[in-house]
Chain A
Amino acid sequence: MTDSAWLRLVGLTKRFGGVSAVDDLDLEHRAGGVLGLIGPNGAGKTTVFNMLSGAILPTSGRIELDGHDVTGLRPDQMNGRGVSRTFQNLEIFGSLSVIDNVLVARERYVRGGALGAMLGLPSGRRAAREQEAFARELLARNGLVGLADEPAASLPYGLQRRVEVARALASQPRLLLLDEPLAGLSRAESTSFATLMDQVTDEGVTVLLVEHDVTTVMSVSDRVVVLDHGSLLADGPPDAVAADPRVRAAYLGEELDA
């Protein structure tokens, strides 16, 4: 089991001032499937999420990905290692078109540098066309057909969320971090979420899902980890975790039925 662990958190700790948001967290996960991360407010979910994406530095402890220590890497470096993310409070590129939002995540495939670009050298043009074709296909698969050239800021909220997911997938991640992907979505939009999860995991992507809506987490996750006060409270298959009395106590009567 230990040797096949693909994602490994070792003694991961984050303190803000005197408060431990995440306290000595150990976690191992094999590649594949959906790992749901839940917990009451202030349990440290978002902090774990932010450390994994490189947005904040751990106070101590280690993050290992595929046998490599990736602790303390910047967000762009984490992205280079195959980690991409979405944002709880949408962070789309409002001044760009929908397709350009996706293409930002493909810049590394269009090398040629700033100087070459300024001089108008043709070196990167073919690569740019290939990336555009890739992006159009990706948009089509994410229900954004015909919207490629629209300004991203002009789309309704639900579609902007899709743009974010498409952008995160554009990096062809091995680990996809989703931060509250259902916040603010309608019931119909939420239903298509399960389909999306199947689609993504079928391609071999591991998903780490942080979500408030416990019911959805329980229904789409293969494994659920519950955090409370920065530490591990429960860990296991969704139904086992949902039945755990400690989890029920932590949520104080919130709806937990999967």
Chain B
Amino acid sequence: MRVLVTKLAPYAVFVGVLLLVPAVFTRVPFFTMANAVQMGILAIATLGLVLLAGFAGQISIGQAAFYGIGAYSSAILTTRAGMPPLGGVVVGAVLCGLAAYLVGSFIFRVRGHYLALATLAFGLMLGNIARQLEITGGASGIVDIPQLALGPLIITGDLRYYYLVAAVLLVVIVLARNLVNSAFGRSLRALGDSEIAAASSGVDLARHKRVVFVVAAVFASVAGSLYAHWVTFVDYHTLDLLLSIQLLIMATVGGLRTVWGAPVGAFLVLTLSQAAQELLPRLSSNIGGEFEIAVFGLALILVLLFLPSGVAGGVLGLLKRRRRTAPRVPTDAS
């Protein structure tokens, strides 16, 4: 019983926070529920990167590519093939999983840091293809994507959409935590620390990396689909390199070595971005929104300097140290 309570406590706290968001975001003038939806969606995509970069030590600069595949799958299948939105979400996720499996099968057989380059190329290539093809709507993209519906219930309005996104975020966090805390997850952290030692201990590096790469891609795809059905419009910007970098920044700011880094990072970076957009033009009329990226960079540098394990990682570290210094109950007499 006590074990179950300590096991579920983090989730209870997280659900509490998720439920508090609407109360805060609808009252504080700075935020809107649309911000909350965006944070939730990007947290889902960032979570995949936390697993991949944080736990397995593999840097991907193409997370937006899988986000884009999800968004475009939803858009194309619902507007051109008459599929229900949920079908678009599922097909997109399956496509992403397959694409990641194929890319991963080639990349991870080679030693070295080729993943960053390969995912960068993959993302740029997909962006160009999406801009050229007719089926993706060319440069103007695809409009009038139907809103998400669960059976007859169409989810309209930012508040309802937020609850949906929050539920999905909770599910992927549970999945990710289960993975991280399993024997498989232990091997992932091991190979993130030392590949040669992990391999010599029997860990099949290529297989482990490929599995996380697929999981990260599927998470990104679901996030992309959720985005497409929310804004009901998609163009090649969803595949943008800038988004891939933004997701990496979110993962780093939040904390790469904890699944909680994803929601924390998405919240912090988007809040900062919003603040920059509002405040910078007020300081001087010459400063525009393009300075936003400089603010991201500054935030990243500050976190790397003062909180190398990210904000969530730093807070968890503090909690752990507290627990350590507290008198320990002798559990095992070894």
Contact = CB atoms under 8 A, between A and B. Distances in A.
Interface of A: 53-55, 74-76, 78-80, 84-85, 87, 91-96, 100-101, 103-108, 110, 112-114, 117-120, 124, 128, 131, 136, 140, 145-146, 148, 167-168, 170-171
Interface residue tally on B, bucketed by range: 20 to 34
A117 B185 contact: yes
Contacts of A112: 182-183
B327 interface: no
26 contacts: A76-B201, A76-B202, A78-B200, A91-B196, A91-B197, A92-B193, A93-B190, A93-B194, A95-B189, A96-B189, A100-B190, A104-B187, A104-B190, A104-B198, A104-B203, A105-B201, A107-B183, A107-B187, A108-B202, A114-B211, A114-B215, A117-B178, A117-B179, A118-B179, A140-B334, A168-B201
A101 B187 CA distance: 9
What is the interface of chain B mostly: helix, strand, loop, or mixed?
helix
Contacts of B197: 87, 91-93, 167
Contacts of A145: 334
A118 B186 contact: no
A93 B198 contact: yes
A171 B215 contact: no
Nearest to A167: B201
Contacts of B215: 114, 118
B175 interface: yes
A83 B184 CA distance: 21
Most B C-beta atoms less than 10 A away, residue of A105, A118, A131, A168: A118
B159 to A, nearest CB: 30
Contact of A103 (B176, B183, B192, B334): B183
Contact of A124 (B183, B187, B192, B199): B183
Nearest to A136: B334
A202 to B, nearest CB: 23
B334 A75 contact: no
B328 to A, nearest CB: 11
Given A76-B205, A140-B334, A96 B190 contact: yes
Nearest to B212: A114
Interface in B293-334: 334
Given A93-B190, A95-B192, A95-B257, A110 B183 contact: yes
Contacts of A87: 196-197
B204 interface: yes
Interface string B202-214: 1111000001000
